[in-house]
Amino acid sequence: MIIVRSPLRITLGGGGTDLASYYEDHEGFLIAAAIDKYVYVTVMRPFTEGIYLKYSQLENVEKIADVHHPIIREALGIMGFRTPQVEITTLADIPAGTGLGSSGSFTTALLKALYTHRKRHIHQEELAELACHIEIDRLGEPIGKQDQYIAAVGGLTCFTFHKDGKVTATPLKISMETMFDLEDNLLLFFTGFSRSASGILKDQKVKSQQNDADMMANLHYVKDLGWRSKVALEEGDTKLFGELMHEHWEHKKRRSGGMSNPQIDEWYQLAIDSGATGGKLVGAGGGGFLMFMANDRTQLRKAMAGAGLEEVRFKFDFEGAKVMMSS
């Protein structure tokens, strides 16, 4: 049995500039952080021929072409299974559709598990690029590349998305003191809303391809906020980082009418009034997790709990996609 885990992520600045519709003309930049919440994939060889899948549904088919789950179907096809005899199970610490990059985490975990099952090694960047190829090129999802890359490499990482499609990953150069400050005061609260990122990101992709002036100006500004966030964090100024998060959220909301809603706006204002320096919805928007930088975490936690929001506590992950067991 092979067991692989792949971390979920939060975006610390520059989110949205990792879509090809933007970076192919302007180059993208963002900071992402892997967290210790995971997607797990197990792969084993059952006693009988066939493909056995256990996720939110159960599948038992004979041919790869008959697999309903699109990512698993494409991954098995790429791996070249001739007479499939494989059982794949997936579990996650946090549900899909909550803005933490679960699809990219699942794809990287699945590919690493299948490579390990076939006794083949795959480098972190090759793993990320193959996951992007499946989701973006083969399945046509209107998503960016950050989820696959941060899941593969882990850590607090700066990504530059070059015009030719290549990605450069460099560690965010922060002190241990700043890292502990972030782990203590960067708080995640679940809104109770789950959603697919595709709808919101499709709108951004179309407007970017049409070179919509407002959308391009927005993304240019957000990319600059990413660079400013990098400087703030590397200088240990987490208060400024929180203020930049607030600025980011104000610009992010303008990208799509589905980015927020009155209930989310109400919770956000409550947080700002209750000890948060700034915050935003993690991911494409519309639901999932609200993330805040707190200057009074006790007061903020009390206010959010009073509003019925559940906190998910986390630390950073520095291992990326990892084989937990291979036997």
Residues with catalytic annotation?
147
The Cα 221–Cα 217 span in angstroms is: 6
Are 197 and 101 within 8 A, CB to CB? no
- 58-76 per-residue burial string, b: 16 or more CB within 10 A, e: under 16: ebeeeebeebebebbbbbb
The Cα 288–Cα 267 span in angstroms is: 13
Tell whether the torsion through CA atoms of 106, 111, 116 and 122 is positive or negative.
Answer: negative
The Cα 315–Cα 80 span in angstroms is: 37
Neighbouring-strand partners of residue 58: 54
Tell whether the torsion through CA atoms of 26, 27, 28 and 29 is positive or negative.
Answer: negative
Task: Write out the DSSP string of 258-275.
Answer: TS--HHHHHHHHHHHTTT
Q: Compute CA 259 distance to the chain's CA centroid, rounded to the nearest angstrom.
A: 16
Q: Compute CA 158 distance to the chain's CA centroid, rounded to the nearest angstrom.
A: 14
The Cα 183–Cα 178 span in angstroms is: 9
The gap between the terminal CA atoms of the chain, to the nearest Å, is: 5
Helices assigned H by DSSP within the chain = 20-26, 70-79, 102-117, 124-132, 146-153, 176-185, 198-209, 213-234, 238-253, 262-272, 297-306
